[in-house]
Structure 1
Amino acid sequence: MAATDGLLTVLEKCRISPPPNTVGERSLPLTFFDLRWLLFHPIHQLFFYDFPHSKSHFVQTVIPNLKHSLSVTLQHFFPFASNLIVFPAPNPSGLARKPEIRHVEGDSIALTFSESTLDFNDLIGNHPRDCNKFYPLVPQLEGASKVSDFVKIPIFSVQVTIFPNIGITIGLTNHHTLSDASSRYDLLRAWTSIAKYGTDEMFLAGGSLPFYDRVIEYPQILDEMYLKLPPIQKLDEKYRPPALVSQTDRVRATFILTRAHINLLKKWLSVRLPTLEYVSSFTLGCAYAWSCIAKSRLHLEGKTGENEQERFVCVIDWRSRLDPPVPQTYFGNCVGPCFTTTNSTLLTGNKGFVTAVELVGKTIRETLKNKQGMLKDAETWLDRSILQVPTVGVAGTPKLNIYDVDFGWGKPRKYETISIDFSRSISVNVSSESAEDLEFGVSLPAKQMDYFSTIYGQELEDIISEEI
């Protein structure tokens, strides 16, 4: 029987496992690069597709196909059907056994099918939209449970929602210890291929099976640094991942930086920073968004102290940059952070954008050129990540074309990273219109979004008018 919750009706709740006897008992130890996300909020993704078909067509054709194709996909990506296993510390002064991702025969993920009466066309817009409207469309992770001498934590769930005769959304939620964006994208490429062709033959022919061996070498002290944290040592069956909660005054909006805009901004910067090394579109776009967010906060809150700091954080995929490198299909987390901090006065001044470009570009270049690699400053990541200053982080990457995720209904009309609502990050992806354009997802209090939108548009218009 269908269950109704406001504007959402649950049509079916089920559990999906890999086909019987295809995975068995397998485990995947967490590395330092996974452990650092252990207390982080889940990642929520939401894809919107045009689907001008009835609910009955959805039930009769889409639901069976998605169930079957997801099951086959999980055969190749068993960690998504697994659980995070956490071992309590043996005593207050001792270290707990390192957590792992473990699959046993019969493990499954929660898959929900639902129907919504929300305004689909409003949700896929770029204009500011109430964040609360999106939350019913993404699944929550189930709670932890005690099993023998360990705690079992579910790490992946899926929700598919039909808007009859209009569209479909696919919502994904995963614990960040499971994987980074690259491994999630590999799963989606496999699932969409199997959903479209009815078999995994095309996927297997592409030679992109996940690489599970734990081959990254790093000092053991990095594991210990996180395993010693009291919140990790105290993880038990009461653990519940941070949940999406109602936001009283928060909206999300999408801003497109076209290739033409990017080229004009680079030309404008070349005059003001003639000695600046190559600036990527990612660096330029993130710097512009960072400076506009800082200025919008200034308009909202007023001038802060002279020594107030602002921080920007992004991550770099190190699969091909490690020595020795690991395969591009390495499964799990293999990213390291880039931090840069500056004085609020500089970032919100007339040269705020120029300052941001210099800082973001410099920190990315220095991190990539570091002969000691990403591990040089790894012992400082924890302290730097919890520094209490206004921070803008980045979710997503334009190197993975999220708009290529096609289940057979065509490419997504819109993609949203819902988890930026409580990570205080921006999402950065290629645009739905062109892989040459950048698409920024921004989540802010409504009044600050008004300021941000005005600043973003006006400063871009001023720069373009100078160059045309």
Structure 2
Amino acid sequence: MGTSIIEKCHISPPPNTVGQKSLPLTFFDIVWLLPPPVHQLFFYNFPHPKSHFIDTIIPKLKHSLSITLQHFFPFASNLLLFPSRPTKPEIRHVDGDSVALTFAECDLDFNHLKGNHPRDCNMFHPLVPRLENAFKETNDIVKIPVFSIQVTIFPNSGITIGLTNHHALCDARTRYCFLMAWTSVARHGTNEFFLSNSKWVPVYDRVIQYPDSLHDVVLSYPLFRTLDENYKVPDQLVQKVDRVRFTLVLTRSQINMLKKCVLVQLPSLGYVSSFAVGCGFVWSCIAKSRVRVEGNKGEYEVERFFCVADLRGRLNPPVPETYFGNCLGPCVGPTKTKAITGSEGFATAVEIVAKATREWVDSNSIQGMLNDPTTMLETVFMQVPSVGVAGTPKLNVYDVDFGWGKPEKYETVSIDYNDSISVNASKESSEDLEIGLCLSAKQMGAFISISKAELESILQSRAF
């Protein structure tokens, strides 16, 4: 059977709580108009029958979502483009706007899906929803739904909650605030506890300061000319992928040993974050596995590491932590494949990641990005092999508890369609790293073998 639909519905904020509101897109939102949506998937143990799910969980989620949307109205709104007008894109809410919510049933093996071992990526795709289609409101306005949810019951085993959002809606921090608010309302039945905890309440003021001309510079960039009346949100889920999904967990003790290894080889590097060590280790092992499977196509082949950093605390003046929207800056580290596949490849990869995350988000680099966004766009959309990063260990996805327990597993399904990895705090400890990868079965086999051997070699070394 696979996956079958139990119910499809649309959830709006409670009547007369939002009304008509508009939220203009900032420069930091507009640069995310083109990339495909973000797909997240949470796994929860739920040893109850389908009837219990229908009678208790469905009403609870509908009610709590409606209450939450009055505080996070953009999730129930539409993104508006104005192809024939010089009007900036915006998110607009009117009475009746809603979030598409699907309830489904699946007969796949829940325990197999939530594991860390290699699993077929295609099994996850029916568990995350698609965004509803863009449509024309008038001849010169294109409306684009920005958020959808799917809740799937595996009878007597578990529940998954799949979320899909247009990246122009918000970044990971805003999405996390929404989830913490929704789960609070689901657990307590009201919004009182959420509202008393100001660290999740969104700030809608457009407080980021930069020249208005930045919008025009970005929208005139060649790739953005597709934002016309025929605009469609890229739908990745229609494509099958020949990949498997695997989760690598690096414990705090392993990370500390990896740090020591790097600093023995590169003592001048100074402080090295757990994020840089984890990403550098995985990036180097991915490159080595690719060379093992595909051969060395040239010792001077260029590739790069790419991630984004939250700029809320780095802008001048700083932006509130609960600022609603995107507030991200790119961190890019280019190199030659040979540099990260040699005997010192791991240390070199960590050095590149550390420098990229340190140098690209200092005040001068941020100001340079605002003064010359074209250079930033050319860097972001550069067509070279890249290992990107989705997620952040600073936001603990395993705290997303709707009232039946914390997640058993978290997956970023959208990395199936690009060369990104996911990096999050681990389920067992927020000091451990949980890193998700999607590679061909052959390359994944090579990656697992190489990463295991390298980790054992480093941990068993007497150099420390």
TM bucket (normalised to shorter chain) is over 0.9
1:195 aligned residue (186, 211, 228): 186
Shift of 1:266: 1.3
Point out the more displaced range, 214-223 or 276-285: 214-223
Q: Which residue of 2 aligns with 1:122?
A: 112
Measured at CA, do residues 386 and 372 of structure 1 come closer, stay the same or move farther in structure 2, by a change above 3 Å? Answer: closer
Q: How many residues align?
A: 458
Task: Check if 1:324 corresponds to 2:317.
Answer: yes
Letter in 1 for 2:339: L
Deviation track 1:88-116 (CA, whole Å, cap 9, x = no partner) reads 134xxxxx421000000110111000110
Shift of 1:230: 4.8
Shift of 1:296: 1.1
Specify the SS of the correspondent of 1:171: strand
Specify the SS of the correspondent of 1:322: coil
Q: How does 1:206-355 map to 2 (within 5 A)?
A: 206-207=197-198, 208-236=200-228, 238-243=230-235, 244-355=237-348
Given that 1:143 and 1:239 are in contact with CA atoms closer than 8 Å, whether structure 2 keeps it comes out as no
Q: How far, CA to CA, are the matches of 1:374 and 1:42 in structure 2?
A: 28
Runs (4+) off by over 6 Å:
none
Q: Which residue of 1 aligns with 2:79?
A: 84
Q: How does 1:127-146 map to 2 (within 5 A)?
A: 127-146=117-136
Q: How far, CA to CA, are the matches of 2:255 and 2:266 in structure 1?
A: 16
Q: Which residue of 1 aligns with 2:431?
A: 436
Unaligned runs of 5+ in 2: none
Letter in 2 for 1:396: G
Given that 1:41 and 1:241 are in contact with CA atoms closer than 8 Å, whether structure 2 keeps it comes out as yes
Taking only aligned residues, the RMSD between alpha carbons, in angstroms, comes to 1.4
Measured at CA, do residues 267 and 101 of structure 1 come closer, stay the same or move farther in structure 2, by a change above 3 Å? Answer: same
Shift of 1:225: 2.3
Given that 1:144 and 1:236 are in contact with CA atoms closer than 8 Å, whether structure 2 keeps it comes out as no
Q: Which residue of 1 aligns with 2:27?
A: 32
Point out the more displaced range, 213-222 or 120-129: 213-222
Given that 1:34 and 1:177 are in contact with CA atoms closer than 8 Å, whether structure 2 keeps it comes out as yes
Point out the more displaced range, 267-276 or 426-435: 267-276
Letter in 2 for 1:293: I
Letter in 2 for 1:196: R
Deviation track 1:149-175 (CA, whole Å, cap 9, x = no partner) reads 300000000000000111000000000
Q: How far, CA to CA, are the matches of 1:220 and 1:415 in structure 2?
A: 39
Shift of 1:382: 1.0
1:450 aligned residue (433, 445, 451): 445
Q: How far, CA to CA, are the matches of 1:366 and 1:171 in structure 2?
A: 35
Q: How far, CA to CA, are the matches of 1:129 and 1:421 in structure 2?
A: 12
Point out the more displaced range, 213-222 or 327-336: 213-222
Shift of 1:248: 4.4
Given that 1:222 and 1:379 are in contact with CA atoms closer than 8 Å, whether structure 2 keeps it comes out as no
Shift of 1:218: 1.4
Given that 2:304 and 2:386 are in contact with CA atoms closer than 8 Å, whether structure 1 keeps it comes out as yes
Q: Which residue of 1 aligns with 2:176?
A: 185
Task: Check if 1:175 corresponds to 2:141.
Answer: no
Letter in 2 for 1:123: L
Letter in 2 for 1:212: Y
Deviation track 1:322-345 (CA, whole Å, cap 9, x = no partner) reads 100011000000010000100111
Measured at CA, do residues 374 and 412 of structure 1 come closer, stay the same or move farther in structure 2, by a change above 3 Å? Answer: farther
Q: Which residue of 1 aligns with 2:420?
A: 425
Specify the SS of the correspondent of 2:9: strand
Q: Which residue of 2 aligns with 1:93?
A: none
1:367 aligned residue (360, 369, 372): 360
Q: How far, CA to CA, are the matches of 2:136 and 2:368 in structure 1?
A: 35
Q: How far, CA to CA, are the matches of 1:374 and 1:196 in structure 2?
A: 43
Q: Which residue of 2 aligns with 1:415?
A: 410
Shift of 1:282: 0.4
TM-score by length of 1: 0.95
Q: How does 1:367-386 map to 2 (within 5 A)?
A: 367-371=360-364, 373=366, 375-376=368-369, 378-386=373-381
Q: How far, CA to CA, are the matches of 2:353 and 2:222 in structure 1?
A: 33
Unaligned runs of 5+ in 1: 1-5, 91-95
2:3 aligned residue (8, 14, 17): 8
Specify the SS of the correspondent of 2:461: helix
Point out the more displaced range, 201-210 or 369-378: 369-378
Shift of 1:12: 0.3
Specify the SS of the correspondent of 1:76: coil
Q: How far, CA to CA, are the matches of 1:59 and 1:437 in structure 2?
A: 36
Given that 1:218 and 1:375 are in contact with CA atoms closer than 8 Å, whether structure 2 keeps it comes out as no
2:17 aligned residue (13, 22, 33): 22
TM-score by length of 2: 0.96
